[in-house]
Chain A
Amino acid sequence: MSLEIQARFRVDRSAFTLDVDLILPGRGVTALFGHSGSGKTTVLRAMAGLERAAAGYFALGSEVWQDESRGRFVPPHQRALGVVFQEASLFPHLSVRGNMEFGQKRTSTAARRFSLPEIAELLGIAHLLDRAPGQLSGGERQRVAIARALLAAPQILLMDEPLAALDLKRKLEILPYLERLHGELSIPIIYVSHAPDEVARLADHLVLLDQGKVVASGPLNAVLSRIDLPATFADDAGVVIEAAIAAHEADDLTRLEFTGGRILVSQRHEPVGTRLRCRIHARDVSLALAPPVQTSILNSVAATVAELAPTNTPGHVLVKLDAAGTPLLARITRRSAEKLAIRPGLALHTQIKAVALLA
């Protein structure tokens, strides 16, 4: 299923204007990232049909849900989509099972894709079915809300900061389930967030929004490694690489391989071949002209300088590198950049001080 999502919305309110024109992939997780007031939630609500943009177009493949130029607007209850809000918003008068069946009952048998036990199993809530929503923890409630949305057989799942209301512990409890959704469901997910960690961990495609406008939209790494963007991730500039476990070494280290190099990380327990996402912050990457020897830093990847840009940090520059196709970012001082004569096309060696594994 590789349909395309087209979304154009214009909303004019006294203090806020939204004007977006997006073409998004019909699979994987697309993150809408921005600060509060950037319009990301409004985009999501417009997609769901909960808000009607005066000028709007929204289509999932050949299914057009809104086309104001032709006066077409399909009300939310006739759109095959699922929405997960920041608060789980379970119906308090229904049990967990009743909540999950709410949408399923209103979906034609032919359209159903998952059975209730399957989804309950996928989200780890099979033991909670007979409870009342009030008896659940925040993380459990949110999992039930996701299950409820999926059982209504959506062709697209919209999630509005589903983790923002949860504390860190609950977040960590629920993230693996979101990753499973990503892996096991074929439907596209639009994920609104203002948390860089969640985006780095879950997204395949990233849309940056600022003050109602699209600043960037593209594959996660292509957007993350763009150094011309105003530092949306601010101090967090960095890339996400997809690596596979190549070997478990004797001295409690695990070797990962990715297009462009290999890196060592603290021992992992997943089997060889498992794919992992790791985030490499620009501030953790230093540069050397010769292969580094006599250093405690284990990870060194050969790369070519692509471009340089100033950063918000005084006295520093951001260097974009190309490691055989994998983009990397390094933040170094302007003095070092001048001393080493860093310029586009220069081949050099990166030293990676830290790798954050995202799973």
Chain B
Amino acid sequence: MESTDLAAVWLTLKLASVVTTLLLIVGTPIAWWLARTRSRLKGVVGAVVALPLVLPPTVLGFYLLVAMGPNGPVGQFTQWLGIGLLPFTFPGLVIASVFYSLPFVVQPIQNAFEAIGERPLEVAATLRASPWDAFWSVAVPLARPGFLSGAILGFAHTVGEFGIVLMIGGNIPGRTRVVSVQIYDHVEALEYTQAHWLAGGMVLFSFLVLLALYTFNPARRKAL
């Protein structure tokens, strides 16, 4: 393996770890709200969260590129903050990936929260637990399988993305060139041996992830 390959692998793992962490932080309140709300906005929010499931990554990437570009609202804001523009940077890649993988984290957690039902939280309340306390001491432990699924899926999905990376991150070695793009480059350059190494590694990785998901967490299979 060349050093650019290793750099791509390292970058991919770093991206997936950062994105998964952010997704758990951002996705949990969204999942909680979606699982518990009786608001009419539930349908709208649920649909927006699920959009990346059906949209081609290029569409999402295109809009994010425009929004984060010099004339887009996000771009103007980041420029005003003095941090410049996000496209073709690692943070830009992270933000795009968070949007793209959001449903894969929100939905399993939401399903797990819904499966808990009202009763355990009512019991917790009658045992002096405030809503915040009950969330951490009852809801989160009971939804653990959902968190596990969400984290694994979010991580794996981020590792596997390609289209959105090209749109937002481009192909800058060491900064935005992840494994999937690296494979693309190898194939374009007819370097099939290197492409095999990386592609084979991705197949193995994906298989292991799904194996872990189905072995440790058989009940969640249907929820996907």
Q: A-side interface residues toward B, CB under 8 Å? A: 48-50, 75-79, 81-83, 85, 87, 89, 91-93, 102-103, 106-107, 148-149, 152
Contact = CB atoms under 8 A, between A and B. Distances in A.
Interface in B126-159: 126-131, 133-134, 137-138, 141-142, 144
Given A93-B142, A149-B126, 19 more contacts: A49-B125, A75-B125, A76-B122, A76-B125, A77-B125, A77-B127, A77-B128, A77-B131, A77-B133, A78-B128, A82-B126, A82-B127, A83-B122, A89-B120, A91-B142, A92-B142, A103-B127, A103-B128, A106-B128
Contacts of B120: 89, 91
B119 A106 contact: no
A253 B129 CA distance: 53
A77 B129 contact: yes
Interface of B: 119-120, 122-131, 133-134, 137-138, 141-142, 144
Nearest to A100: B127
A349 to B, nearest CB: 51
A324 to B, nearest CB: 44
Contacts of B137: 102
Given A83-B123, A85-B123, A106-B133, A91 B128 contact: no
A77 B144 CA distance: 24
Contacts of A79: 126
A97 to B, nearest CB: 14
A102 B133 CA distance: 11
Overall SS of chain A's interface: loop
A76 B142 contact: no
Contacts of B134: 77
B133 to A, nearest CB: 7
B128 A50 contact: no
A50 B124 contact: no
B127 A50 contact: no
Contacts of B125: 49-50, 75-77
A58 to B, nearest CB: 14
Nearest to B142: A93
Contact of A77 (B130, B141, B142): B130
Contacts of B144: 93
A76 B127 CA distance: 9
B141 A93 contact: yes
Given A91-B120, A91-B138, A106 B127 contact: yes
Contact of A87 (B119, B128, B131, B141): B119
A83 to B, nearest CB: 4
18 contacts: A50-B126, A75-B125, A77-B125, A78-B128, A83-B122, A85-B119, A85-B123, A91-B123, A91-B124, A91-B138, A93-B141, A93-B142, A93-B144, A102-B129, A102-B137, A103-B126, A106-B128, A152-B127
